């Protein structure tokens, strides 16, 4: 269960961490709605229909805000290429997020379907993070281009496109696993 929850949360963190713009939006922005848009793009990239239960069932306002705070630290660390620190932030987030969110995600059929579609369901959290870190070290320019694309999508407030780009990134980093 920890592996499924961790992978879903890291994918969500990646989806919202492409750009610090996410963190500078007015506080009255609905983090649940924005997360839904990211997930829509993420699912569409995998050839899946938009999810209808992940955000509405698993994330309340408080857990969405907690996610926002974790993303703030995660974005800063990724921007500085502090992969180990970003990994620690992700693990700490898993510890802090209410158990009900993790339980909901681990039992959510749509979340499981996305992990299957991206071939991530059999990875441990450590394998997932190490593979991303390894790819970043060997393909820095591609990662930079990927982040620039995300930046542009987010600046245009096209969160669905940003979610699609996250999916493309995962398909690139995990080519033997992706569909």
Among 25-34, 52-61, 169-178, the minimum mean pLDDT is found in 25-34
- Which range has the top average pLDDT, 15-29, 74-88, 104-118? 104-118
The whole-number pLDDT of residue 20 equals 42
**How far, in Å, CA of 59 to CA of 68, rounded?**
12
Give pLDDT, residue 146: 75
Residue 150, pLDDT > 70, answer: yes
- Please determine, for residue 14, whether its predicted confidence score (pLDDT) is greater than 60: no
Put simply, whether the predicted model's pTM sits higher than 0.85 gets the answer: no
Cα 171 from Cα 179, distance rounded (Å): 8
What percent of the chain stands above pLDDT 70? 72
The pLDDT score that the predictor gives to residue 80 is 62
Range list of β-strands (E), 42-95: none
Report whether pLDDT(17) > 50: no
CA 40 from centre of chain: 12
- Between CA 70 and CA 22 the distance in angstroms is 12
Q: pLDDT value at position 28?
A: 47
Cα 159 to Cα 25, 98, 151, 167: the distances in Å are 13, 25, 10, 12
Give the DSSP H or E segment for 41.
Answer: helix 31-45
How far from the centroid of its chain's Cα atoms is residue 50's Cα?
15
Mean pLDDT of 134-161: 78
Model confidence pLDDT, tens digit, residues 54-80: 988 999 888 877 876 676 566 556 656
Burial class (CB in 10 A: 0-12, 13-18, 19+), 155: exposed
| pLDDT of 170 strictly over 60 | yes
Is the confidence at residue 157, as pLDDT, over 80?
Answer: no
The domain spans of the chain are 2-17+27-173
């Amino acid at each position: 269960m920890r592996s499924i929850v961790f992978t879903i949360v890291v994918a969500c963190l990646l989806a919202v961490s492409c750009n610090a713009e996410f963190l500078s939006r007015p506080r009255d922005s609905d983090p649940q709605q924005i997360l839904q848009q990211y997930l829509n793009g993420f699912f569409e990239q995998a050839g899946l229909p938009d999810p209808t239960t992940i955000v509405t069932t698993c994330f309340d306002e408080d857990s969405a805000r907690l996610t926002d705070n974790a993303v703030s630290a995660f974005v800063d660390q990724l921007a500085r290429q502090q992969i180990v620190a970003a990994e620690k932030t992700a693990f700490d987030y898993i510890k802090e997020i209410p158990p009900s969110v993790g339980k909901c995600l681990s039992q959510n059929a749509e979340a499981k379907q996305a992990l299957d579609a991206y071939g991530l369901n059999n990875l441990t959290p450590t394998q997932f993070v190490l593979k991303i870190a390894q790819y970043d070290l060997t393909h820095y320019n591609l990662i930079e281009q990927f982040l620039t694309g995300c930046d542009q999508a987010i600046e245009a407030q096209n969160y669905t496109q940003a979610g699609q780009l996250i999916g493309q990134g995962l398909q690139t980093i995990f080519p033997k696993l992706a569909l």
